Copies of this chain bind each other. A is one copy, B any other.
């Protein structure tokens, strides 16, 4: 049994992470932390976990944490995460980090997009990016893995194989993404107040969303192709799910069937990517670690659709999949 701790376990990703880990045959959750000094029981913060995990939150103390856990999932905000990851690694704890701190290729980009000085610049650009379907080898040998952003996962899984195989042009790539409200986290805010966002759909962060450079840079890292995706996220009135509708131009008159063949071959050993010929819907992947991908054609433009659950394949499911790869287990252990 691997003893697992979760740093910053008060949000939605932590709930889903705990639900998955409770089913995992090789895991024991031994510690959960939050900054709340009153140390509430987990069932007070997450009532749905009542009777399933008997732990109180505790403030993070590096030494105490290190004595209790072999593997850590770090669910802190960006910059906060990089303040402590190094200390945990020094104690021999392997880590999957949910923040954006170690996802980008260089410190300059991070500081440009996140408007903060990076607390741990040396690991930036050297950390494995946590999509096992793309970076299995580096994840398998890593002590630290940067868990990917939810939108990037939904865009990269369909795009990377096609770009690498030169089936589509590298520009323009338009990613029109729709996300459920849980993607905004658990902190109350007028924008996510029920009567504001229910029964409404709206775009946000046009041209400024931080997941845009992440998509570009991981394409560069994997396929050595320069891209500048046009990325527009939309807030959609549902709890969870991301649908990305991606508009690309074929190279050499390739057609949808060629793209399907490429995906089927590239993902033939990847159980969590499902190539579908009948269109995708977020409901079909809700609560699962699947990413469904499909493609149609409209007047020459290829219209790719990709669906995943932002809290599972877009966050906690991917994290456990990374944990499995880092621990030498099958990707799917405890996850189907």
Contacts and interface: CB of A to CB of B under 8 A. Distances in A.
Contacts of A50: 274, 276, 284, 292
A226 B278 CA distance: 32
Contacts of A196: 186, 283
Nearest first, the 9 closest Cβ-Cβ pairs linking A and B are A200-B283, A202-B281, A207-B298, A188-B188, A206-B296, A48-B284, A181-B194, A176-B176, A182-B195
Contacts of A274: 50-51
A234 interface: yes
A204 B279 contact: yes
B284 A287 contact: no
Q: Which of A51, A186, A190, A194 has the most CB of B within 10 A?
A: A194
A336 B239 contact: no
Given A181-B195, A192-B193, A198-B239, 15 more contacts: A48-B283, A188-B193, A192-B195, A198-B198, A199-B199, A199-B240, A199-B283, A201-B238, A202-B280, A206-B303, A207-B296, A230-B303, A232-B298, A234-B245, A236-B237
A230 to B, nearest CB: 5
A247 B245 contact: no
A164 interface: no
Given A190-B188, A247-B230, A303-B232, A241 B285 contact: no
Contacts of A212: 298
A47 B281 contact: yes
Interface of A: 12, 22-23, 47-48, 50-52, 172, 174, 176, 178, 180-182, 186, 188-190, 192-204, 206-207, 212, 228, 230-232, 234, 236-241, 243, 245, 247, 271, 274, 276, 278-288, 290, 292, 296-299, 301, 303, 305, 307, 336
